[in-house]
Amino acid sequence: MLKEVNKDNFDQEVVQSQQPVLVDFWGPRCGPCLALMPYVEEMASEYENILKVVKVDASQNRRLCLNLRVMNLPTYLLFKGGKEVDRLAGDVDRKKLKNFVGDFVESQEESP
């Protein structure tokens, strides 16, 4: 189960994290979000030593979504060192998400 993050703990869990973080912005009425959630949970287990994975319910955290310019669901943001370094939004499927996260993880493994 992915850790649920909200406006109250976003800084602590994401911005201040020592590990890179994938943030999954989802909604309870978003079909693609719900379809991809099991896959996101698999990736969290697969990459647990490399990448922290958390989720944000966009319907409960509208201000946070506005501050981060999250306009479509699903949206996946990658944070490293407290800063957003990449994002994937809108028409996302399993293959696009796998490539997005895989490319980032590979770049982390190549970094000294």
CB 49 within 8 Å of CB 17: no
Look at residue 109 and tell me whether its pLDDT is greater than 80: no
Residue 65 annotated as catalytic? no
**Model pLDDT, residue 72:** 95
Look-up of token digits 């911005």: 15
- How do residues 21-40 score in pLDDT, each as one tens digit? 999 999 999 999 999 999 99
Domain ranges for the chain: 3-110
Measured between alpha carbons, how far is residue 112 from residues 46, 51, 84, 100 in Å? 21, 16, 20, 21
pLDDT (tens digit per residue) in 38-75 = 999 999 999 999 999 999 999 999 999 999 999 999 99
**Element containing residue 96 per DSSP (H, E):** helix 94-110
Q: Residue 10: is its pLDDT beyond 70?
A: yes
- Choice among 14, 33, 64, 70 that is catalytic: 33
Cis geometry, peptide bond prior to residue 74 (ω within 30 degrees of 0): yes
Cα gap 9→14, rounded to integer Å = 8
Q: Determine whether 30 is an active site residue.
A: yes
Active-site entry in 30, 37, 50, 89: 30
**In CATH, what number does 3-110 get?**
3.40.30.10
